Amino acid sequence: MTRPKPLASRARWANQPEPRSRRPHRVRRAQWSPALAQAVEELRGDNPMWGKRKLAWLIRREGVAVSTSTVGRILTSLMQRGLVTPVPTLRRKPGGRRFRLVGKRYARRLPKGLKPKWPGQIVQIDTVFVNLAPGKAVKHFTAYDPVAKWTVAGIAGRATADLAARFLDKVLRQMPFKVSGIQVDGGSEFMAGFEQACRQNKLDLFVPPPKRPQLTDVIDKSFLIGFAIFSCCAWVTAWRRAGSEVRALPRSLYSRF
């Protein structure tokens, strides 16, 4: 079992939920020469749809020893500096995609590559069924901040939009930092009243694209960790209870074993 954390550590985490930077003080410098970077930039300008493998083959044909990974790193550096246009941007049709919506929702699609950088930027909320007994189940609401590692949980008999809105109020009260964004999985309990609550609290509501479970894997792992801890606690409690019952039996019943 995991040892409980000291109260001083919990208070320090609550006062400073944002983790410290782990970036090294001395970053590794680029190993390629300016001439090689210039050659890759010129070849990519002549062939804007070619990737690192074709460009590396062309450079090696000129007698320069370079690996495919190095050409990929050079292309990434050029894209970050704005000297090279990424291929998906060139393949995208002008005007973007057009969708026919019956009713405009407050929730919007999670932008590609958006990751939270400070506590409260994007708090993930999800629900899961918990079976207490055969034929009896409850809904377990969980809100998790992936930056501060802060969790708020709640129990409800059903998963409705009104109950989800009440849980959102609980999250805003118990989080030790300001919440500015919410990410949900697009379930029916996160529509109607829940979207209205997000609008009233001026929160950004994001929904991941379909068939992208990796965007909500953090909160799913928190469910598994919570169930594992609950199961371990229940197993230890049952084992202690069984041990106390065995010790209460007469010695003649278990002394031979």
> Are 226 and 154 in contact, with CB atoms under 8 Å apart?
no
Q: Are residues 142 and 53 in the same domain?
A: no
Q: Phi/psi class of residue 113: alpha, beta or left (left: φ > 0; alpha: ψ in -120 to 50)?
A: left
Higher pLDDT, 7 or 206: 206
- Rounded percentage of the chain residues whose pLDDT exceeds 90: 33
In total, how many domains does the chain have? 2
Q: Are residues 159 and 81 in the same domain?
A: no
Q: Are residues 203 and 114 in the same domain?
A: yes
Write down the pLDDT at residue 73. Answer: 93
Residue 22 lies in a domain: no
Q: Are residues 72 and 113 in the same domain?
A: no
Q: Are residues 77 and 116 in the same domain?
A: no
Average pLDDT of 230-234? 49
Residue-range definition of the domain harbouring residue 81: 32-89
- Integer Cα distance of 90 and 163 in angstroms: 45
Q: What confidence tens digit (pLDDT) does each residue in 10-52 have?
A: 787 778 777 778 889 998 888 899 999 999 999 998 888 899 9
Q: What confidence tens digit (pLDDT) does each residue in 159-195 have?
A: 899 999 999 999 999 999 999 999 998 888 888 899 9
Q: What confidence tens digit (pLDDT) does each residue in 61-105 have?
A: 988 999 999 999 999 999 998 898 888 888 776 655 554 444 577
Residue 25 lies in a domain: no
Write down the pLDDT at residue 138. Answer: 84
Write down the pLDDT at residue 255. Answer: 43
Q: Are residues 180 and 145 in the same domain?
A: yes
Q: Are residues 123 and 53 in the same domain?
A: no
Taking Cα atoms as reference points, which of 76, 77, 52 lies closest to residue 66?
A: 52
Higher pLDDT, 139 or 227: 139
Q: Are residues 114 and 206 in the same domain?
A: yes
Q: Are residues 176 and 212 in the same domain?
A: yes
Please report which helix (H) or strand (E) contains residue 156, including its range.
Answer: strand 150-156
Residue 240 lies in a domain: no
Q: Are residues 206 and 122 in the same domain?
A: yes
For residue 149, pLDDT over 90 is answered with no
Write down the pLDDT at residue 166. Answer: 93
- Span between the terminal Cα atoms of the chain, in Å: 29
Write down the pLDDT at residue 94. Answer: 63
Sequential DSSP letters for 171-185: HHHH-SS---EEE--
Residue 168 lies in a domain: yes
Q: Are residues 80 and 174 in the same domain?
A: no
Radius of gyration for the chain, computed over Cα atoms and rounded to the nearest angstrom: 27
Q: Are residues 176 and 126 in the same domain?
A: yes
